[in-house]
Amino acid sequence: MNQDDEHITQKVQDMYSKYPYPSPSADLTQTNELLNLLRIFELESNIKLKGKNILDAGCGSGHRITNAAEFFKNCDFLGIDITEESLKIANDLKKIKKLQNIRFLNYNIMESVKELGKFDIVLCMGVLHHLSDPMMGLQKLVTTLKDDGVIFLYLYGKLGGHKRMLNKELVSILLGKEKQNYELGIKLVRDLELNKFEYGWNLNFKNGKEEDSLIVDSLLHANEVLYDSIDIENLLRQSGLYGYSIFGITVGTKGLLYDSGVRAKGKLSVLQTNIAQMLKSELPLSRYESLNIRERYRILDLFYEPNGYTILGFTKNAYEKLSNDRLKRNFIKT
């Protein structure tokens, strides 16, 4: 890493050392987003998770990955993070839940990944956009995939994150030269009543200390990059992956499965994008049907304004095994 990258990494590490995410407590339980994602993926696909070797790159305080390890007892999990304080909480959770199928390691993926080995599944959920060089970080993680491996990414959305970023800028200006004074920033956020959380931060915190971590991660973060579907393609094109599909998006405090296809009107059995509800007459719907997948992605961007994207990146062998029609409709070859 160059000096600028090292400086950014150190700032992020210092921030999470003081304010572990998603919680400084080892008893928070309402963190099942990752578990639900893996369960839906398994239900929809012929890619079963039993016996899989899974890496969580940037596991933080371990709340989400330990919930997944507790459910998928036949999988082996490795959680890595640059922050020792977060990993102490993760190891406490491991002990509390009496988990034998997970271990944690203090590790910086921006330096090297060679010692980690190869994995069936790599998770990098809400982490890549905080790295000093997201492109390099992704390229390194892709090298840890087995020949038929899959990587899960969660990236912040540019369109839906617009208001949050305005609030973040507002607080930053008021902080002036004290931008790393998180205690002052937290007080400003509360005084301005900006502690209204979107998806990923809308957790059932039990005290002010737990809320502090959510405030810092959402509105005082030392480094973050936001994406839309165009940015995502630019990122994934140079990743070394065979291709990718958007699996889901977050809008406000809700998660939606993502489908670029044209669906029938009416209520769906699960929360899911439905372009037919947006394009309610024949003319715009027929025009949409004539679009290529990249143009459809952009139309969905403009209608739904996601504040986050869950993306699945495939090796060639993994894609050839894929039986999920929805993900195949959404697939873009890099």
Instruction: Say which CATH number the domain at 121 has.
Output: 3.40.50.150
Residues belonging to the chain = 334
Q: How far apart are CA 18 and CA 24, in angstroms?
A: 9
| The total number of structural domains that make up the chain | 2
pLDDT for the residue 29: 63
Please check whether residues 41 and 105 belong to one and the same domain.
Answer: yes
303 falls within a domain: no
Q: Mark whether 79 and 215 lie in a shared domain.
A: no
Q: What is the dihedral of CA 6, 11, 14, 19, to 10 degrees?
A: -140
State how far the Cα of 284 lies from the Cα of 93, in Å rounded to an integer.
51
- State whether 146 and 37 are in the same domain: yes
Confidence of residue 205 (pLDDT cuts 50, 70, 90): confident
Whole-model pTM: value is 0.95
Quote the radius of gyration of the chain (alpha carbons, Å). 20
Looking up tokens 């997970």 gives: 102
Among residues 272, 264, 284, 220, the alpha carbon closest in space to that of 246 is found at: 272
What tokens does 286 get? 């027929």
Q: Are residues 198 and 65 in the same domain?
A: no
In this structure, the answer to whether residues 67 and 213 fall within a common structural domain is no
pLDDT at 269: 65
**What is the extent of the structural domain holding 203?**
162-219
Phi/psi for 145 (5° steps) reads -80, 140
Question: At CB < 8 A and 24+ separation, what contacts does 2-10 make?
Answer: 4/132, 5/110, 5/132, 5/133, 6/132, 8/132, 8/222, 8/223, 9/82, 9/108, 9/110, 9/131, 9/132
pLDDT of 148 = 96
The answer on 246 and 181 residing in a single domain is no
Q: 29-74: per-residue pLDDT in tens?
A: 668 999 999 999 998 887 789 999 999 999 999 999 999 999 999 9
Do residues 231 and 177 both lie within one domain? no
